[in-house]
Amino acid sequence: MAFIDANNLPVREPRPGWHGRFFHSRHMTFAYYEIDAGADVQLHRHLQEEVFHVISGELEITVDGTTRVVRAGQAAVVESQVKHAARAITDCRLITVDHPTRDSVGGVDIR
């Protein structure tokens, strides 16, 4: 599958207010999120390295005890097994990339 149109993928909601469209390459999982203001993800960690790239809006991200607001055009990199959390300050759009691939997010099957 060389070309993906994320607009044609089903929307899944692994956390309240986190509306995602997911696809996979051989080694990575991609999520195109539209997040409602105030929606959050509690402090957690997982095997995958994860990159949050904000397309629009503002997302507060805590990585290994440091909290920053990430805005459009900015990214946050979370290494494997590092505790992190996120909260949408405004409605926002972002793309996350996980390596290696994931089968589920927040207990929701994304395969």
Domain total in the chain:
1
3 state DSSP class of 8: helix
Q: What is the per-residue pLDDT across 87-108, written as a single tens digit (0 to 9) for each?
A: 999 999 999 999 999 999 988 8
- Phi (first) and psi of residue 33, to 5 degrees: -105, 145
Classify the phi-psi angles of 81: left when phi > 0, otherwise alpha if psi is within -120 to 50, otherwise beta. left
Tens place of pLDDT per residue across the chain (111 aa):
689 999 999 999 999 999 999 999 999 999 999 999 999 999 999 999 999 999 999 999 999 999 999 999 999 999 999 999 999 999 999 999 999 999 999 888 998
Instruction: Please state, rounded to an integer, the average pLDDT across all residues of the chain.
Output: 96
What's the domain range around 60? Answer: 28-105
The CATH number of whichever domain residue 48 belongs to comes to 2.60.120.10
Question: Which residue type is seen at 30?
Answer: F
